[in-house]
Amino acid sequence: METARKLDQEKRPGRRWKKAAWWTIGIIVLLIVSTVVFVNAYTPRSLPETSGEVQMDGLSAPVTITRDNEGVPHIKAENELDLFMAQGFVQAQDRLFQMELARRQASGRLSEVIGEATVDQDRYFRTLGLRRAAERSLAVYSDESVDRLQAFADGINAFIENEPLSPEFAMMAIDPEPWTPLDSVTIGKYMAFDLGGHWERQAFNYYLLQEFPEEEAYELFPTYPEGAPTVLTEASVDIEKSFANVVLPHEFNGSNNWVVSGEKTLSGAPMLADDPHLGMATPSIWYQMHLDAPGYQVSGVIFAGTPGIILGHNDDIAWGVTNVGPDVQQLYLEKRNPENPHQFLYEEEWEEADVVKETIGVKDGETVELEVVETRHGPVISEYAGKTGGENVMSLRWTALDATTELEAVLEINRAKDWESFEEGLEKFLVPAQNFVFASKDGTIAYKANGRIPIYDNPDDALLPMRGWEKEDEWKGFISFDELPRVVNPEEGFVATANNKITSDDYPYHISHNWAQPYRYQRIAEMLEGKNDLGAEDFQAMQMDVKNLQAEEFMPLLLEQTKAESDLEREVLAKMEEWNLEDDRNLPQPLVFHKWMSNIQEELYGEELPDSMRKFFKGSGQTTDELLRMGEDSLWMEKAGGMEAVVTEAYRKTLSEVSEQFGDDPDAWAWGDFHAVEFTHPLSSIGFLERFLNPGDPYPVSGSRVTVRAAGFKTDGLVNHGASWRFVIDMADTREAYHVVGPGQSGHFRSDWYHDQLEDWVEGRYHTTSTDHASGEVLTLSP
């Protein structure tokens, strides 16, 4: 009996394990079944209604919404307030979850729904105070603009109150609050943040002077300073510690645009092209719409969560933008009163700062209390994550934190009829500063670098933090609207910009030290000069152009300096010599070139600059180009072993990396095997959701950061930055224009318009949007 009991006990753990295993399998099966039921039963019910009739309180007359083949809504209303209310409703149908995350991110409220992971991010945005700046801005909007913002918000709220929400809300357990005009203005402020400034480069320059000899430090400045500014010894801040985990906009946010006169086109009318470069994800940052009401007929794209059309055309004019990138952010070193942490020195007196108490709710965590201190210059940003500077801190003066009226400007330029009325509307578009190109049916083409741009006594002052305690270090006002760079009907017959330097040496004001590498602009100009029979297809082909002018400049140097030893090294060098200089996804040479250039940077900076500071090295590509041009005269090149050693070692590392990843046969290598686009959804990192929210395997794609077809990529090759919207219009017929919105219009993964334009984006196919004969399903919104 005893033996039998013993044997039985020995068997029981196995039985218990089997029982537990069956329970585990049962739970997994239940989860899978629940997921399938959720996906197939619940999610289709939250797809937007695109036909029939919906009753909506607040409308004064029926509004029709026709969705064309690409899911572009064409909204027709009898008055503007109804139009904007319908626009808010439609945006909420397709993009409400994106809008919800956008207002939370800009307001520093992500942690309420995500938890501890986003607390640092929320602390930073609360410190910057984009929502506080939006409150100041909304207070100076005209009554008419506020009425339109409110009508837009009413349309969003009508959807929230009466329609089923998209599945992401259930996944994240979010119950959206009512939308307000302040939410829209806050999202507008976030776009100013996303298009950046230059404070991080000031911080990096300051770090260089703290850590390296002056001549070495100056060599990495974006321009070599004639006035030779030095690091301030009167007050010091630990840059690396103070800005740990800081949130920075994407380094390569930029764009292309160009406009040509009728003398250069087949139609005899002006033509315009625009492709703004921002982050690429699902849903697209852009949402295409057509708005039609008496006195208001406009088509193009807008950021979800804001009214009007920010880029596009109406019946008389068209416009597009790129980022100017001016020095509109200034770090100030501040001396704090050791006896009162809320007082700072200014002109030999202690000045009281403003103190803002912020409370950050944290899902499944403890509430975070944050004290934001604002000096006369702006918020103290060097302590957003904790006390680090003692008696010395850094504050940020930034034009976007002022009261500004961008959304009001958008509503005005939408109604402009000619260059004069368009330019008048631009007076209210202050941040971010943008290069506007313009075309009109009357034949006018024009350009303006528009926005609030500060005046510096000495341009070198914008390279480093300035003294917060000295009046002489304050900005000297702003460049007047009439003195901003401007061109109307140039003799060349075209204007183009690609974040390049826009002013000549005789322009009286400083704009920026941080221009993009010139290659995209040079290639655009190269394709436009001397051509007088351009059509829409030519413009589309230009936007897809992948000739690499950086490689054209530097490949002869790299080939000359590289010492090949192995058969593989010699074979690949031979291939590089015969390259046509196109960043084509099917070629091996772009793969070698871009990894080679990246490894050259590693050879120059890798051992000297910690990873924690490299993210502040904005414009490192331009700096590396300049060091290569300097050659043996560069101190950094000399310190790294000289030009031949740097180039050769970077080459060998490149071949080692490529061979390890793609094999030893260079004929089998292809740029697209590494360089591919996916348009990832922000929730796709959550386990099984990837298969539903992402399009599948990444698509091989041509282009790079330096080609007109912009396609910036992460270290793993995944393309995450570029022209998520492309636009071409011939002013001979302003009722039609050519667009592509990658990856599609809808934010709902069960929609036919979720990823339907992804392949079009990759292959360079455009759809035509008509403003006078749109056809498709029709939804009527009735009072």
Amino acid at 79: N
**Per-residue pLDDT at 147:** 98
Average predicted confidence (pLDDT) for the chain: 92
CA dihedral 34, 40, 46, 50 (to 10 degrees): 180
**Per-residue pLDDT at 591:** 98
pLDDT band at 5 (very low <50, low <70, confident <90, very high): very low
**Per-residue pLDDT at 229:** 53
Give me the residue label for tokens 């797809």.
47
pLDDT at 17 over 50: no
Q: Is 255 a catalytic residue?
A: yes
Nearest to 95 by CA among 152, 156, 154: 156
Please check if 327 is assigned to a binding site: yes
Integer Cα distance of 276 and 725 in angstroms: 7
What is the Cα gyration radius of the chain?
28
**Per-residue pLDDT at 36:** 52
pLDDT at 524 over 60: yes
pLDDT band at 212 (very low <50, low <70, confident <90, very high): very high
What is the share, in percent, of the chain residues with pLDDT greater than 70? 92
Preceding omega of 432 cis (within 30 degrees of 0): yes
Per-residue pLDDT of 257-288, as tens digits, reads 999 999 999 999 999 999 999 999 999 999 99
Q: What's the whole-number mean pLDDT along residues 670-692? A: 89
**Per-residue pLDDT at 258:** 98
Q: Which CATH architecture has domain 254-282+313-327+406-459+480-543?
A: 4-Layer Sandwich (3.60)
Tokens standing for 44? 């289709």
Q: What's the whole-number mean pLDDT along residues 219-232? A: 69
pLDDT at 68 over 80: yes
pLDDT at 61 over 60: yes
**Per-residue pLDDT at 234:** 61
**Per-residue pLDDT at 12:** 44
Q: What is the 3-state secondary structure (H, E, C) of 285-321?
A: CEEEEEEEECCEEEEEEEECCCCCCCEEEECCEEEEE
Q: What's the whole-number mean pLDDT along residues 655-677? A: 98
Strand segments (E) across 689-741: 699-700, 711-713, 718-723, 725-730, 736-741
Ordered by start, the domain boundaries in the chain are: 2-45, 254-282+313-327+406-459+480-543, 549-581+588-669
Which among 107, 145, 166, 255 is annotated as catalytic?
255
pLDDT band at 240 (very low <50, low <70, confident <90, very high): confident
Q: What is the DSSP letter of 332?
A: E
Residue 273 and residue 727 in contact, taking contact as beta carbons nearer than 8 Å: yes
DSSP states of 555-584 as a string? HHHHHHH----SHHHHHHHHHHHT--SB--
**Per-residue pLDDT at 398:** 98
Pairing of strands 486-488, 767-770: unpaired
**Per-residue pLDDT at 15:** 47
Per-residue pLDDT of 357-403, as tens digits, reads 999 999 999 999 999 999 999 999 998 766 655 789 999 999 999 99
Query: Could you tell me the end-to-end alpha-carbon distance of the chain, in angstroms, rounded to an integer?
Result: 85
Per-residue pLDDT of 436-487, as tens digits, reads 999 999 999 999 999 999 999 999 999 999 999 999 999 999 999 999 999 9
What is the share, in percent, of the chain residues with pLDDT greater than 90? 85
pTM of the model: 0.93
Per-residue pLDDT of 114-136, as tens digits, reads 999 999 999 999 999 999 999 99
